[in-house]
Chain A
Amino acid sequence: MISAIKSIVQWNPTVPQKPGITERVHRALIILMMLGLVFSMVFPIIELLKRALQDQSGTYIGLDNFTTYFTSPSLFQSAYHTVTIAIITTIISVSAAFLFAYAIERTHMKGKTFFTYIGLLPLFAPTMMYGIALIYLLGNNGLLTTGFFGLTEQWFGWEEFDFELYGMKGIIISEVIFTFPQAFLILKVALSTADQRLYEAADTLGASTLRKLVTVTLPSIKYGLVSAFFVCFTLSFTDFGAPKVVGGQYNVLATDVYKQVIGQQNFSMGATVGIILTIPAIIAFIVDQTIQRKQSGGVNSRAVPYKTPKNKGRDRLYLLYCSAIAFSVLLLFGAIAAAAFVKVWPYDFSLTLRNFGFGSVAGDGLKPYWNSLIVSTLTATIGTAVIFIGAYLTEKSRHLKWVRKVSYFLSILPIALPGLVIGLAFIFFFNEQAFTIPFINMEIANPFKWLYGSLAILVLANIVHFYAVAFITANTSLKKQDDEFESVSEAMNVPFYKTFSRVTVPLSLPAILEMAMYLFVNSMTTISAVVFLYSPDWKLASIAIVNMDDAGDIAPAAAMSLLIIATNIIVRVVYELLSKKLMNRTNAWKQTQT
C-alpha cells in the first residue's frame, strides 16, 4: 500500500515524451546561463583576487599588499572610519525605521499611505544627492546653520552655529537617509504579521508595554531585524557617493579604492582595499543564508491576525514622529529643488533654468542623462529577461541538477558584492590583453576586450550588480506556481516554451514588472560599479554628478540629481498603474460572474 502511494507520488510522466527536444534545449540553456554567470562574475572576481596578490608590475607578492595596507596609518585609519560610520548609521537607521514601520503597521495613525511613500522616496535618488542637499542645509553657509541667513536671528534670536558637516557627521546623516528605506521595507514586512494570541496572553499576565515589546514584538521580528541590520551595515560600509561629496578629509574605504585607482592608478592596492570592502558583506551573506534555513513560520495556522488596539495618544505620538521624518525627507528634496533653480545660492535667489544647461560645467550637457536613460532601459529589459529565464531554469527545469544548484548560488552571490568591487573586477577582466589557461599554459587573446569602454559593459555591470535581488523576486514568484503546470504540459506534449509563454510568464507578470522597475531605478542612481567603467562616450548622469561636484559645480549637480529623481518617480508611478491594472485583469476570474 505504502509503496503504491510512493509510486504515485514519485510518478514521472516520462512515457509520451518525444525523446529529448525539451531536454536538450533545457540543458543547452542551463549551460549557457552557467557560462554567462561564470564569465561575467566568477572570472572577473578571480582576476580581482589575483591582482590583490600582485604588485604594480604584476609579480606575485603574496599578502604584501594587505600588510602594507594595515601598516600604513592613513589607510588603516580609513578602515576604522568606515566601521565607525557603518555601526552608527546602522543603529540610528534601524531604530528610526523600526518606529516608522511600527507606526505604519501597528497603529491607527492617519496618512499611512502618504508616509509609506515618503519613507521610500530616498530610494529614487543617488547617494551623492543627500550629500549635496546637506551642504545646502547644514554646510558652513547652509540654510539651517546660518539660521535662514540670519533671519531667525533677527526674529527669534537663533544664532548661527557651526555644524562641521564635512566629515563623519555628513557621511552618517547621508547614510542614514540612504539606508532608512531599506530597513523600513524589511521591518514593515516583518511587522505586518503577528499572532494576536501572544499579545492577549501577555495582557492577561499583566505585562507592561515595554515588556510586551521585548518579549513578544521584538522576538517575532528578529529575523527581519537581523536582516535590516546587515543590509544597513553593508550599504553604509560600501557606499561611495556620500563620502565623496561630504566626506571632506574623512577618508573611508570606498573613497580609498577610488583614489587608489582613479587618482594614482594603483590597481593592486585598489583591488586589496576592494577585498577588504567585501568582508562584512560576505559575513552578512553567510549569516543571512543560515538564518533563512532556520526560519520557520512564527505564525502558524492557528494564529489569530493581530488587531491593533485603539489608543489615541499613541496614534498622535506616532503621527508626530512620522511627520518629523517626512518633514526632514521633504526638506532634503526641497533643498535640492531650490538649489537647482536658484541663480547664485545664497546671494541671488532669482529663479533660473541655467543649471539645467550643463553645457558650461563638467557635465557635457544633457548627454549623460540620455545615456543613463538608455543604459537603465537596456538593463531593465535585458536584465529582466535574462534573470527571469535564469530563475525559471533554476527553479523549474529538472535537468542538470548540480549545475542548477551552483547557478542558484551564483545568482544570489552578487548581493554580497559591492558595486566598486564589481567595477574593479570588470576592469581587470575585460581590459586584460590575453589570458593564460592554467595547467596547459596556453595564451589566448581576450575575446571580450571589445566590451571594454562600450555601452554593453555598463549594462552588464548593472545586471550583475543587481542580479541577486531581481533573481530572488523571480524565484519567489516561480516557487508559488505549481510544478504540475510543467508536468501536465509535458505529459500532454505541449512544448515547454508554450507553457512558459502562456502560463509561467503571465502568472509572473507582477514579479516581472517589479524586477524591471527595480533594475531601472537602481541603474539610474548607481555610481559605484560604473564609475570605473564608463568611457568618454558613455558618461552617465550619476558620474556627471560626481564630476560636477569635483569641479565645485554643485548647483548643476543638484539639477542633475533632480532629473534622476523625477525620472524614477515617473517610472515608479507608471509601474504602480500598470501593476494595478494587471491585478484587476488577472484577478478578474476570481470574481463570481453574475
Chain B
Amino acid sequence: MKKTMLFIVSLMLVFVAACSGGNAETKEKEITVYTALEDDMIETYLSSFKEKHPNIKVNIVRDSTGVVTSKLLAEKDNPKADVVWGLAATSLLVADQKGMLEGYAPEGIDRVGSQYKDTQNEKPHWVGIDAWMTGIAVNTVELKEMGLEAPQSYEDLLDPKYKDLIVMPNPASSGTGFLTVSAMMQLMGEDKAWNYMDELHKNVGMYTHSGSKPAKLAGQGEYPIGISFGYRGITQAEKGEPIKTIFPEEGSGWDLEANALVKKENIKDEAKTFLDWAISDKAMKEYSENFAITTVPTDKPVPEGFPEDPTEQLIDNDFNWAAENRQEILDKWTKNYDGKSAPKE
C-alpha cells in the first residue's frame, strides 16, 4: 500500500519536472511587451518589426492604461515585462518613482523633442512616441433630433440640457480619463476642478472602463456625447458613424504614449532592439497614421478632423505633477463619484 503511494507520488514528480523543464527552453529570443496601445493599431505597427526581426517573438500583453499600470506595479519584485511600449507617460513616471525603469537611450533619440522624453536622467528612463489628447465625440444625428447644439468647451458640458447624455471614462482605469481630469486640474486649479467635476457628475450618464468606449457609445447613439480621445472619434466617423469630434476651446489634456525598459535581473538585448525600432522612422510613420502628433515629425499631413496645428490645442502639461498626484486624485475621484451611483437612480 505504502509502496504504491510512493510510486504514484514519484511518478507525479517526474511528470511535473519534465513539464517544467521543457517550458524553460522555449523562452529564448522572446520578449514580453506590456502596452496600452489600441488593439486595432498594434498589429499594423508590429508588422515592420516582425519583418526586420523575424527571429524575435514578441508577446503582447494589452489592456487599458489603468490595468497595465497596476499590473506593472504589482509585479514590481518579479517583473514579467521586458519592455513597456506605448503606455501613458504619467503611468511610467509612477513606475519610475518606484525605481522600476532602467535608463536606455535608443538609437536616434536626439530626433525626439525634449518635451517628449525624460530629461531628468542622463540616460532617459522613458521616451515618448506620440501624443494623444482629449476629444469630445458627439453624435450629430441624435443631438439634432433632440434639438441640442454640440458642446464646444468643457464649460458647455455643464449645461443642464445635457443631463444624462454624457459618458466619460473612469480615470482610475482609463488613461484618457486621467489625462482629462489632470488637464482640468491644471487648467482650473484643484479646488475649482473638483467643483467642476461635481457639476459634471450630474450630467454624466455612465463612467466607462476604457477611453474609447464613450466614443463608441456616442457612435451607437446610446449616449450622444462621449469624452474620449481625438483619434477614436475620427476613425469612427470614417466608418460611417455620425460622429463629429470636438476639441474643447479651453485646450485639450494630453499625454504621451511612451516606451521604457523594465529594470530586472537579466535585461535582454532583444528588448533594446525593440526599443530602437519603436522610435525608428518606419515606426513613427505608422504611428502618424493614427496620431496627429508624433514625437519625431513625419511628412504626413495632419489627419482630417484634427485642428490644423494640433500642438496648439495642447495645454501646458506638467507630467511630474500629474504623476506625483495621480494616486491622490484617483482616490478622491473614486470616493466622490464611483461609489455614488445609487442616488442617481
Q: Which A residues have a C-beta under 8 Å from some C-beta of B? A: 24, 27-28, 31-32, 35, 73-75, 77, 135, 139-141, 164, 166-168, 248-251, 262-265, 343-348, 359-364, 447-450, 536-537, 550-554
Contact = CB atoms under 8 A, between A and B. Distances in A.
B10 to A, nearest CB: 12
A553 B210 CA distance: 11
A536 B43 contact: no
Which has the most chain B C-beta neighbours within 10 Å: A24, A448, A552? Answer: A552
A552 B207 contact: no
Contacts of A362: 39
B206 A537 contact: no
B contact patch SS: helix
B141 interface: yes
Contacts of A348: 240
Nearest to A36: B12
Contacts of B74: 265
Nearest to B21: A450
A35 B210 CA distance: 43
Q: Which of A250, A251, A347 has the most CB of B within 10 A?
A: A347
Contacts, number: 121
The 3 closest A-B pairs by CB, nearest first: A74-B339, A552-B216, A249-B341
A447 B21 CA distance: 11
A98 to B, nearest CB: 30
Contacts of B240: 343-344, 347-348
A344 B241 contact: yes
Contact of B206 (A24, A166, A265, A554): A166
Contacts of A164: 345
Interface residues of B, number: 58
A42 to B, nearest CB: 16
Contacts of A448: 16
B97 interface: no
A551 B213 contact: yes
B46 interface: no
Contact of B23 (A74, A345, A450): A450
Contact of B20 (A27, A32, A168, A449): A449
B163 to A, nearest CB: 12
Which of B5, B214, B338, B342 neighbours the largest number of chain A CB atoms within 10 Å of its CB? Answer: B342
A2 to B, nearest CB: 37
B73 interface: yes
Contacts of B298: none
A347 to B, nearest CB: 6
A75 B341 CA distance: 12
A197 to B, nearest CB: 52
A31 B173 CA distance: 46
B178 interface: no
Contact of B209 (A27, A168, A450, A550): A550
30 contacts: A27-B4, A28-B4, A32-B8, A74-B338, A74-B339, A74-B340, A135-B222, A139-B222, A140-B221, A140-B222, A141-B221, A166-B205, A167-B345, A250-B345, A262-B67, A263-B67, A263-B173, A263-B209, A264-B172, A265-B73, A346-B220, A347-B221, A347-B241, A347-B242, A359-B43, A450-B16, A550-B64, A550-B208, A552-B213, A552-B217
